[in-house]
Amino acid sequence: MRAVVCGLMALITPLAGCTMGDTVRGTPEGVAGSAAGGAAGRAADSTVGAAAGGAAGTTTAGAAPVGRAGVAVPPVYAPSPPCVLKYPDTRASRAARTRLQHDLARYVAQQPGRVVFGAHDLATGLRLGHHAHESGMITASGSKVDILAALLQRRHRLTGGEHDLAARMIRESDNAAADALWSRVGGGYGMGGFYRRAGLRETVPGPSRFWGGTNTSPADRLRLLRLLAEGGGGLRAAERRLVLGLMGRVQHDQAWGVSAAARPGDRVALKNGWTPRPFMHNTWAVTSYGRITGPGRDLLLAVQTDYQPGEGRGIQAIEGLSDLVGRRLGDLRQVTVRACPAAPTP
């Protein structure tokens, strides 16, 4: 019986080994293995009956099966995936980065007003930017995340009413809710303390009750996002999840901006700001910053604009730049693919 089983295995997988006592059958040459103690190996053949269609077929161990007509049937082997090795291609990655930086600079030069940005992929460590330390950029409603973070850092707890105010302030960009929480955090003085503790050295709170007049830089927006993503600045994990959770559920008509960098299926948490500037030649300041996460990516992106001819033009500039970053970010990690070296012949 065991000989029959081994013969069947030879039919199915001619290269598979089958052990019967001290004899191995099914080797490519049909040669039996040696017995323990160095005894000479003995060749053995095995004949099995084939059940397919009721026709009897025979085979010799290691040889191709023979059909009823006496014609040898070639064995069928399942293809194995090719073995490849991947190496980082530093030169190609550097060239791709240079091309992207050139294209981003050209894009920014074609926009009206001022456009500055910073990008940092926490998953890969890649950084990009254009005047990322330009600190004279107004935040408008972008400072509402700062207000909530400062209140949580100060108290580590919110009342039920403050939870409602926070949700309205972030998700709906409600200005009255921002007024209330700005006052509770201590206004500009309290916000100045938060910025110092959080290490946001390029951010200056708005004067008096004017939270929308807060000035900041893309680099500081990235620092704030990193605090929310990774911790620090006196914020606890639950508090960081609260802020990012609200930023991830802004109402649909306010989900524009850096979300243009997201791939299908990526998750986005953002806050936008926009305000007319009647004393600046009737232009607009428009800003957007947020976190985009997905497979192989944890992108922090901040884009700020000023002196825009209109709100829509500012949004268009932000989304065009964000789309360019999102589409090309993966190109900055080039690899070289090579076949695995052949196994040495025994």
State the CB neighbour count (10 A cutoff) for residue 260.
23
Q: Which residue has the higher pLDDT, 34 or 142?
A: 142
Q: What percent of the chain has pLDDT over 90?
A: 64
Top pLDDT among 194 and 24 is at: 194
Domain shared by 155 and 283, yes or no: yes
Question: Based on the domain organization, do 35 and 148 belong to the same domain?
Answer: no
Q: Are residues 38 and 115 in the same domain?
A: no
Q: What is the pLDDT of residue 9?
A: 43
> Which tokens go with 324?
């360019």
Q: Can you tell me whether residue 286 is helix, strand or coil?
A: strand
Statement to judge: residues 270 and 325 lie in one domain: yes
pTM: 0.74
What is the domain count for the chain?
A: 2
- The one-letter amino acid code at 198 reads A
What span, in angstroms and rounded, lies between the C-alpha atoms of 10 and 61?
A: 6
Which of residues 318 and 68 earns the better pLDDT score?
Answer: 318
pLDDT in tens, 266-304: 999 999 999 999 888 999 999 999 999 999 999 999 999
> Does the pLDDT value for residue 61 go beyond 80?
no
* pLDDT, mean over the chain: 83
Q: Which of 57, 80, 103 is the last residue of a domain?
A: 80
Q: Please indicate, yes or no, whether residues 55 and 128 belong to a single structural domain of this protein.
A: no
The DSSP-derived string for 74-117 is: PP--PPPPPPEEEEE-HHHHHHHHHHHHHHHHHHHHTSSSEEEE
What are the pLDDT digits (tens) for 214-248? Answer: 999 999 999 999 999 999 989 999 999 999 999 99
Point out the domain boundary residue: 50, 80, 110.
80
Token pair recorded at residue 334 = 């080039």
CB 66 within 8 Å of CB 305: no
In a domain, 341, yes or no: no
Domain match, 119 and 27 both = no
- Which domain does 287 fall in, by range? 86-335
Which residue has better confidence, 86 or 24? 86
Kindly tell me if the per-residue pLDDT of 213 is higher than 70.
yes
Whether residues 156 and 46 fall in one domain: no
- Using the 3D structure, point to which of 60, 80, 100 is the last residue of a domain: 80
- Same domain? 216 vs 311: yes
pLDDT tens column, 150-179: 999 998 889 999 999 999 999 999 999 999
Q: Quick one: 93 and 214 in the same domain?
A: yes
pLDDT for the residue 333:
85
Could you tell me which residues come within 8 angstroms of residue 38 by beta carbon, excluding any fewer than 6 positions away?
none
Asked if residue 169 lies in contact with residue 144, where contact means CB atoms within 8 angstroms, the answer is yes
For 284, the token pair is 């607009």
- Cα–Cα nearest to 181, from 141, 214, 148: 148
Same domain, 102 and 41: no
Quote the strand ranges of the chain, DSSP E: 18-20, 23-25, 84-88, 114-121, 127-130, 137-138, 215-216, 267-277, 283-294, 297-308, 335-339
Specify whether the CB–CB gap between 116 and 304 falls below 8 A.
Answer: yes
Pick the residue with more confidence: 321 or 36?
321
Q: Summarize the confidence of residues 106-122 as an average pLDDT.
A: 97
Give a yes or no: residue 342 inside a domain.
no
Cβ within 8 Å of residue 26, ≥6 positions away: 6, 9, 10, 13, 14, 15, 16, 17, 18, 61, 62
- pLDDT number for residue 4: 39
CATH number of the domain encompassing residue 171? 3.40.710.10
* CA atoms of 78 and 207, how far apart (whole Å): 73
**pLDDT greater than 60 at residue 29:** no
- What is the spatial distance between Cα 51 and Cα 33, in angstroms, rounded to a whole number? 29
pLDDT digits (tens, 9 = 90+) for 178-204: 999 999 999 999 999 999 999 999 999
Residues in a beta bridge with 167: none
Q: Residue 22: is its pLDDT beyond 80?
A: no
Do 110 and 227 share a structural domain? yes
Q: Is the pLDDT of residue 134 over 70?
A: yes
